[in-house]
A and B are shown apart, each in its own frame.
Chain A
Amino acid sequence: MADNVKPRVRVPRSAAAGETITIKTLISHPMESGQRKDSDGNPIPRSIINRFTAEFNGQNVVDVTLEPAISTNPFLEFQSVVPEAGTFTFTWFDDDGSVYTESKDIAIG
């Protein structure tokens, strides 16, 4: 449904062990709310990203439920503890069943 969906994530390259870091994510997506009508007056069907999760080495950081009231190109910012070197995995779940993932490595030091 949604074309050119491109996730973008900003994670620091390295952190001290146990440090809290800020992560910013953005994914290009129209987030069609289902409230709008096209030029003929027909409602445009809802098509949004309804869930986002962030995990670090398999442990959950944050799990966000998104509703149609989230803007186009949903932006999310949150904080995470980095206990060790590893990989962040970010997952977006689309209404149409598509799943978009992105991962970022982080080093200690």
Chain B
Amino acid sequence: MNMTRRDSLMLALAAGAATVLPFRVDAAAEEAISAFTGGADVGTGGITLTAPEIAENGNTVPIEVDAPGAVSISVFATGNPTPAVATFNFGPLAGAQMGATRIRLAGTQDVVAVAKLADGSFIEARQEVKVTIGGCGG
């Protein structure tokens, strides 16, 4: 494998990020969110995130997102080792811009849903979910 200067720099960056990760979990989540929004400003309102306040089992936490007029909705778990959870991209036949699924949460944390609207702007909703038993194995 050829190691270019760019490759080795990226590798060093990734290694640095990996060591910092356990102490700055939220930073990783913010990074994942800005990767989705492309750094654009994120407004609020017009998006609903339904999640339980207390989840006894972090292995299956039911969540539902609903954002009328959205092109895609991405869900992030700010306290997970990998913050990205799922991205719903809606096609021309989507009846409503909603989706529901079941997710894993490593511990008590904020779940964030970010929607991209048809005009290119972004809106988000946040909710804290208290988790009794984490869902990432160990």
A, B co-complexed: yes
User: A35 and B91: CB pair below 8 A?
Assistant: no
Which interface class (under 10, 10 to 19, 20 to 34, 35 or more) fits A? 20 to 34
Which interface class (under 10, 10 to 19, 20 to 34, 35 or more) fits B? 20 to 34
User: A62 and B102: CB pair below 8 A?
Assistant: no
Known: A70-B86, A71-B60. A80 touches B93 (CB 8 A): yes
Known: A33-B104, A70-B103, A77-B101. A64 touches B59 (CB 8 A): no
CB distance from A29 to the nearest CB of B (A): 12
Q: How far is the CA of A61 from the CA of B94 in the complex (A)?
A: 5
9-residue interface stretch from B12-20, B41-49, B75-83, B122-130: B75-83
Nearest B residue (CB) for A81:
B95
Of residues 39 through 74 on chain B, the ones whose CB sits less than 8 Å from some CB of chain A are 59-61, 64
User: A64 and B88: CB pair below 8 A?
Assistant: yes
**Interface residues of chain B: helix, strand, loop or mixed (majority):** strand
User: A79 and B94: CB pair below 8 A?
Assistant: yes
Of residues 71 through 109 on chain A, the ones whose CB sits less than 8 Å from some CB of chain B are 71-72, 74-81, 83
User: A64 and B96: CB pair below 8 A?
Assistant: no
B120 adjacent to chain A (CB < 8 Å): no
Which of chain B's residues have a CB closer than 8 A to the CB of A83? 93
User: B93 and A72: CB pair below 8 A?
Assistant: no
Of residues B85, B95, B98, which shows the largest number of chain A Cβ atoms within 10 Å of its Cβ?
A: B95
User: A80 and B103: CB pair below 8 A?
Assistant: no
Q: How far is the CA of A20 from the CA of B94 in the complex (A)?
A: 9
Which residue in B91, B98, B99, B137 is a CB contact (below 8 Å) of A59?
B91
Of residues A56, A64, A67, A69, which shows the largest number of chain B Cβ atoms within 10 Å of its Cβ?
A: A69
CB distance from A54 to the nearest CB of B (A): 8
Interface residues, chain A, CB within 8 Å of chain B?
20-22, 33, 35-37, 55-56, 59-72, 74-81, 83
